[in-house]
């Protein structure tokens, strides 16, 4: 009970829905203003009534009547329970927009439903609006801790990060593309439009890549490459071209800040002399020599030779 109580500021985002199901199953006490707040109590009672109505319905017509009486909860639950990839993406987009502080009306317009659907979804399945200022809770408990990310980072989590950290305009760019919604009025504008789409699509993908790839020595090259491509694509776009200079400066600073060297093909003569010696380099020593570092005591290793074979019979 205490886990789902209103007094627990770390309660799950779907606490009110779980309270309703728990009450129906007998594992949770009845809802009160003290345990759930006035708003929570009202939503829990609506959810209980909806579930009881569905359980009592014997025919398809009766189930449709229950859905007609509770359209917001019915569609919100339908969205919440979707397991197909497109259903999960839709659910994540709604949650990202809630984290981006968009209103029910704004989200409903994007989804193509009524605002009461979003109100029901937010209240019963993603109730976080009153805790959006609790940065650590949202980051670690609602979205997911950045430290736990891997290269297969779910894209839906990236949407939520962008929405929460940067707001609806950046989220719109990540979800739908920076140039989405622009209608080309003339054939003369097609080339310019395609330039803009190319540049901004590359920037979009580079931003998503930066949010999903863990920054290590190897993956840093991939980030630099993605950033470089976005800069090159921006040269051909009139609007994107205005940002070219700042992007180039940022890339240069990134390169200068890296604590390791960029190297080309390893020179064979740096390592070949050790193949003839009695001592072999360890892996870490091999790497240091390959990039030009001087290892203390390296001359001693070079002078270690195998003894000459005996000359006599």
| Nearest one of 88, 126, 87, 84 to 104, comparing CA atoms | 126
Q: What is the pLDDT of residues 217-275, one digit of tens each?
A: 455 555 555 555 555 555 554 454 555 566 666 666 666 665 555 444 445 566 666 66
Cα–Cα distance between 122 and 94 in angstroms, integer? Answer: 9
- Position with higher pLDDT, 204 vs 77: 77
pLDDT of residue 150: 44
Average pLDDT over residues 124-129: 96
pLDDT grade for 147, boundaries at 50, 70 and 90: very low
The residue with tokens 């430290």 is 147
Average pLDDT over residues 81-86: 84
Measure Cα distances from 176 to 20, 180, 203 in Å.
Answer: 35, 6, 13
Q: What is the pLDDT of residues 13-62, one digit of tens each?
A: 999 999 999 999 999 999 999 999 999 999 999 999 999 999 999 999 99
Express as a percent the part of the chain with pLDDT over 70: 63
SS3 100: coil
Q: Is the pLDDT of residue 214 over 70?
A: no
pTM of the model: 0.64
Query: Taking the domains of the chain in order of start, what are their residue ranges?
Result: 269-303
pLDDT of residue 212: 60
∠ CA 61-64-67, nearest 5°, is 160
Residue 244 near residue 235 (C-beta atoms within 8 A): yes
Mean pLDDT is lowest, of 93-97, 116-120, 159-163, for: 159-163
Tokens read off for 100: 């981006």
Measure Cα distances from 11 to 102, 150, 286 in Å.
Answer: 22, 26, 53
């Amino acid at each position: 009970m205490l886990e789902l109580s209103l007094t627990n500021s770390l309660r799950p985002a779907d606490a009110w829905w779980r309270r309703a199901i728990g009450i129906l199953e007998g594992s949770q006490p009845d809802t009160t203003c003290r345990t759930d707040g006035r708003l929570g109590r009202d939503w829990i009672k609506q959810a209980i009534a909806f579930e009881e109505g569905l359980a009592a319905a014997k025919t398809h017509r009766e189930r449709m009547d229950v859905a007609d009486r509770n359209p917001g909860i019915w569609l919100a639950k339908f969205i919440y329970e979707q397991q197909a990839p497109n259903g999960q993406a839709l659910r994540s987009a709604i949650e990202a927009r809630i984290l981006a502080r968009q209103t029910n009306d704004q989200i409903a317009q994007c989804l193509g439903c009524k605002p009461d659907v979003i109100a029901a979804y937010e209240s019963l399945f993603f109730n976080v609006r009153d805790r959006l200022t609790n940065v650590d809770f949202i980051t670690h408990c609602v979205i997911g801790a950045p430290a736990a990310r891997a290269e297969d980072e779910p894209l839906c989590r990236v949407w939520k990060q962008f929405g929460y950290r940067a707001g609806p305009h950046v989220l719109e760019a990540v979800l739908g593309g920076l140039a989405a919604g622009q209608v080309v009025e003339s054939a003369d504008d097609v080339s310019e439009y395609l330039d803009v789409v190319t540049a901004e699509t590359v920037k979009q993908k580079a931003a998503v890549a930066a949010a999903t790839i863990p920054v290590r020595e190897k993956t840093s090259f991939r980030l630099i490459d993605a950033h470089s491509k976005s800069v090159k694509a921006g040269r051909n776009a009139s609007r994107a071209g205005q940002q070219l200079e700042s992007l180039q400066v940022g890339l240069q600073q990134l390169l200068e800040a890296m604590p390791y060297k960029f190297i080309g093909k390893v020179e064979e003569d740096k390592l070949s002399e050790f193949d003839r010696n009695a001592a072999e380099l360890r892996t870490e020593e091999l790497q240091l020599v390959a990039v030009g570092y001087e290892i203390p005591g390296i001359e001693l290793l070079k002078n270690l030779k195998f003894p000459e074979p005996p000359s006599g019979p």
